[in-house]
Structure 1
Amino acid sequence: MNLSSQLHETAKTSANKPAYYFLDKATTYAELDGAITKFASGLEKLGIKKGDHIALLLGNSPHFVISLYGALRLGATVIPINPIYTADEIGYILTNGDIKTVVALDLAIPLAEKMHTQLPKVEHYVFCETSQSDLVQANVEELSIHPKMKSFTNVVASGDLHYQGPELEDDEVGLILYTSGTTGKPKGAMLTHKNLYSNAKDVGDYLKMSHDDRVITALPMFHVFCLTVALNAPLLSGATMLIVPKFSPKEIFRLTKEYKATVFAGVPTMYNFLFQYPEGKPEDLQTFRLCISGGASMPVALLKNFEKKFNVMVSEGYGLSEASPVTCFNPLDRPRKPGSIGTSILNVINTVVNELGEEIPANEVGELIVQGPNVMKGYYQMPEETQAAIRDGWLYTGDLARKDAEGYFYIVDRKKDLILVGGYNVYPREVEEVLYNHPDVVEVAVLGVPDPNLGEAVKSYVVSKNPNLTENQLLKYCQEHLAKYKIPSSVEFLDELPKTTTGKILRRALKSQIKQKAGK
């Protein structure tokens, strides 16, 4: 069984059940399944075949759901990309991921026209129509003059409702998720159909999702947290999604009250905004049976305050792209421990080991490693990185953790220098590489600093050869090359950076300076 075939079966048994609401319009499972089938068939008529790579540059919308499941039904490999990435970041993934087809909002047409000559392997650009711009609509009408550009509506219309896709093997790759690496370049985690299906089913079972649930899908669909917890798991369970194009506390309260939502999944930043929203009333969220938090550690004070105000339980969990992503959740049938990521979910084993890979006693700190049907096949075209990450059947997460005597896990720190900005991963090296390309920058070090709204913010320490170089100039430079959440919140100029005797920059010395300043 796989995600697409299971949805097809659900459409037979629950044809008239709403699969989702979007902009207050309901779409049934039968309607969704029909659109998926026709999109898959339409792609095949374009020459797309099993194993081809398809990139999705889409926000939260029916287009994303139909494109994802349609491509999977065809047997293609889907690569979701954050649509707010810069042209440089998108171009890297499209090239490294050997993309043959791009599905994007029509707002990206100018970008495609600018980049398509640099991407000769991309054979088709399928644009999803919006009504946000007369200029965009004009572009859509003129798509026929560009042989590579197609209309999403036309692709679906050309499809056969009776199309049956190829047989899909469990170990075939269904999704590649690009995650930042310590080298500064993203790595593509290959997730098989078994990885995706097993994690969605196990998460759904663990959280007791059912046909009666109405799940708010406000997390970004291109992010693995949303993909599994707020999209795949609900659809596997026959639940109804309430798709939110863009997170806003006002909209969450409205949807919950109007549609009697039962499950909400978000990062701690979202919970903070909901808690602080002045018009948010406890009775507006009274239909919630469960709130799920992930992407970053939730401050215990926020968790307790949110639960007390709204009288709802928040279950924290843990995951990473390489594990599809969920490995732990706080249990629903046993005591929840604030500050813990919970216990291993069904069919997944978590443990903590020392540097030799040996399991260590309870409450000792070591590296968290994971084993289960959710663990990735490997990194795309990166055999050495794959061997380093997966050893003897265990995925080494790179996170430092401890396990208590009752089997609850706690993340202690990041083994790497990962910065979590509102639940998004930012690796310092990636930002440093951009700053090093500036002609006036001699040395740079990037660190995460506390931020009251986002959890952490990016800060850069720079040594410049130009005494007239300003913070604003560097920030503007970063805006041209980095996604918004990766851009430093501030730049501090130094005469030199602390280093070891071998010349390696000492980040921990800079972190110590930050702590000393915070303590004053």
Structure 2
Amino acid sequence: MHFASLPDHRADLDPHGPAISDGRQSLTNAELLTRVRAASHHLHDLGIGAGDVVAVKLTNRLEFVVLLFAAWRIGATITPVNPSMTDIEVERQLRDSQARLLVVEDDSTTPDTPTLSADTLYTDPAGFDPAPILDPAALSLLVYTSGTTGTPKGVMLDHSNIEAMAEMMGVALALGPTDRSLLILPLFHVNGIIVSILSPLLAGGSAVIVGRFDPKTFFDLVERERPTYFSAVPTIYNMLAALPPELVPDTTSLRFGACGAAPASDVLLTRFETRYGFPLIEGYGLSEGTCVSTCNPVHGPRRAGSVGLPLIGQEIRIVDDNGTELANGEDGEVIVRGPNIMRGYLGRPEETARTLVDGWLHTGDVGHFDPEGYLILVGRSKDMIIRGGENIYPKEIEDVLTTDPSVLEAAVIGVPDEKWGEIVVAYVQPRPGSTIDTTALTTLCEQHLTGYKRPTAYIIKAIPKNAVGKIDKPTLRSTHAEASTARVGS
């Protein structure tokens, strides 16, 4: 179903059924349709129409979802803007996307783009009710990459992309009308939009929007709102796993927690499920693939250490540098094909051509299939460390380090070395109230890793994250290099 008409469909089927809420407001299906029609009227009055781009710079709140459906109703495109970005970064995205309007939380303005405060959105459609524009090839989302590989790029997702993705998620997660998602990831990221909003709404369920994740109050929300699932990143699950042992929340409403955006360790997955009584379903995907390409089964064998099976409707291959498909067990680049694959990068035909080859999305991720067809990721090609001609994938080392009960998270990087080309350095962040013993980590790595894979140094400190919760290795590398230069110069 085209998402421009989903509010109408839900209101026809069950006008008084729950749709979305955010702690401040709660909308039934009929109320959601009214708010969507009113917001589309407001956008129309501001001169927004088919093909125009609306930038939305909002924290997690109900109006974000209303604006999604309102823009799509009149054929416009949404580009989500991270509210924590600097003015320079915001201006760059507005300029690149050619946004006609910026929706903000307050009365702030920008030099070149008209702004609209979300609090002033029309709530009464005043008879404005044109038929929704149902063009599957129209651009629905313009999602900017997090910038961990350079200047952010606009990922163009059309309506056929998001429709295919939400349908695939509904099948993979066995979603239905009784499901209720708890959104804790930011709505400016495609995971928050697809997994926690569009997928449950398409399946007939509902969604609860949380403004900001707080591990201390998270399970209070679960007990009050009774969600059936939520989606998060390993950092969040690590925080929840580190809560005091005397905390025993009621998690009986939860069928599962979805885990993605970064690899999770076997230890975390097992420890979390044992403690809280519901499984973590690890998956994998990219913004360029509209979010998810593999997922461990909700009903069926889940394999710790893997990111699961390809979603129905997508093809995945493992290829070498020449594009030749490799056998199960052999490491190579992960490439993906399906109706969820992006149209391309906005205004970047050369980068698009490098990333999309004969319909296949080249992810830059390295992995292999196990004998049962589960995908095992070993790292990103750009993260690979080459020491003395030996390829080292950081995830293998990070998985070992996080088995130490004092380690909350680990991030392994390659550092230039005159003799070996690169050597392994590990950043480790302690669990709250814990002290890391680097001698114990050395012993642990000696037990589990071949000599050339073992870190030569351990640095104990908080590990930087990017806007969507992924470990920010480019920042880690640059700060490490700066610190090394400073030491040499002192």
Q: Above 0.5 in TM-score? A: yes
> Which residue in 2 is equivalent to 1:82?
82
Equivalent pairs: percent with the same residue?
34
- Deviation, 1:240, is 1.8
1:26 is aligned to 2:26: yes
Deviation at residue 6 of structure 1 after TM alignment? 2.2
SS at structure 1 position matched to 2:50 = coil
Does residue 200 in structure 1 map to residue 156 in structure 2?
no
Structure 1 partner of 2:275: 309
Measured on the aligned residues, the alpha-carbon RMSD in Å equals: 2.8
Pick one of 335, 338, 343 that aligns with 1:372. Answer: 338
The equivalent of 1:99 in structure 2 is 99
Verify: 1:353 aligned to 2:353, yes or no. no
Alpha-carbon separation, structure 1, partners of 2:431 and 2:54? 35
Which residue identity does 2:213 align to in structure 1? F
> Structure 2: which amino acid aligns with 1:222?
F
Please tell me whether the aligned partners of residues 352 and 368 of structure 1 are also in contact (alpha carbons under 8 angstroms): yes
- 1 CA distance for matches of 2:37 and 2:246? 41
Select 2:195's aligned residue among 229, 236, 241: 229
- Aligned partner of 2:115 among 119, 125, 141: 125
For residues 495 and 292 of structure 1, what CA distance do their matches in structure 2 show?
A: 41
- Look up the equivalent residue of 1:219 and give its one-letter code: L
Alignment of 1:416-495 (within 5 A): 416-417=382-383, 449-452=427-430, 492-495=482-485
Secondary structure of 1:191 counterpart: strand
User: For 1:405, which of 366, 371, 378 is the aligned residue?
Assistant: 371
Match of 1:263 among 225, 229, 248: 229
Aligned residue for 1:431?
none
What amino acid sits opposite 1:96 in the alignment?
D
CA shift at 1:164, angstroms? 2.1
Structure 1 residue 23, shift from structure 2 partner: 1.3
When normalised by structure 1's length, the TM-score is 0.74
- How many residues align? The count is 414
Range with bigger deviation, 197-206 or 20-29: 20-29
Paired letter, 1:295: A
Tell which deviates more after alignment, 217-226 or 180-189: 180-189
Q: Is the 8 A contact 1:286 1:310 kept in 2?
A: no
Q: Secondary structure at the match of 2:353?
A: helix
Query: For residues 453 and 4 of structure 1, do their structure 2 counterparts lie closer, same or farther at Cα, with a shift above 3 Å needed?
Result: farther
Q: CA deviation at 1:231?
A: 0.9
Superposition TM-score, scaled by structure 2 size: 0.79
For the pair 1:382 / 2:367, whether they are aligned, the reply is no
TM-superposed CA distance for 1:160, in Å, is 3.8
Deviations 1:246-295 (A, max 9, x none): 00123321121123221121111111111222277444112211111011
Deviations 1:331-367 (A, max 9, x none): 1232100010000112111111111111100010000
- What is the deviation of 1:24? 6.3
Aligned match of 1:323: 289
Residue of structure 2 equivalent to 1:333: 299
Q: Any gaps of 5 or more consecutive residues in structure 1?
A: 130-150, 421-425, 429-446, 455-477, 499-520
Deviation digits for residues 344-392 of structure 1, max 9, x if unmatched? Answer: 1121111111111111000100000000110000100111111001001
Distance of aligned partners of 1:483 and 1:189 in 2 relative to their CA distance in 1, 3 Å threshold: closer
Any conservation in 2 of the 1:7–1:236 contact (CA below 8 Å)?
Answer: no
Q: 1:222 & 1:180 partners in 2: Cα distance?
A: 10
CA distance in 1, matches of 2:468, 2:257: 28
Q: Deviations over 1:84-137 (max 9, x none)?
A: 01111111101111010011101xx34x2xx41xx2xx2x311123xxxxxxxx
* 1:177 and 2:167 matched: no
Unaligned runs of 5+ in 2: 385-393, 396-410, 414-424, 433-463
1:246 alignment counterpart: 212
8 Å CA contact 1:202–1:347 kept in 2: the answer is yes
- Residue type of the partner of 2:72? L
Task: Give, in angstroms, the shift of residue 26 of structure 1.
Answer: 2.6
CA distance in 2, matches of 1:267, 1:183: 19
What is the one-letter code of the residue matched to 1:125? Answer: T
- Matched residue of 2:231: which SS? strand
Asked whether the equivalents of residues 72 and 174 of structure 1 are also in contact (C-alpha less than 8 Å), the reply is yes
The offset of 1:233, in angstroms, is 0.4
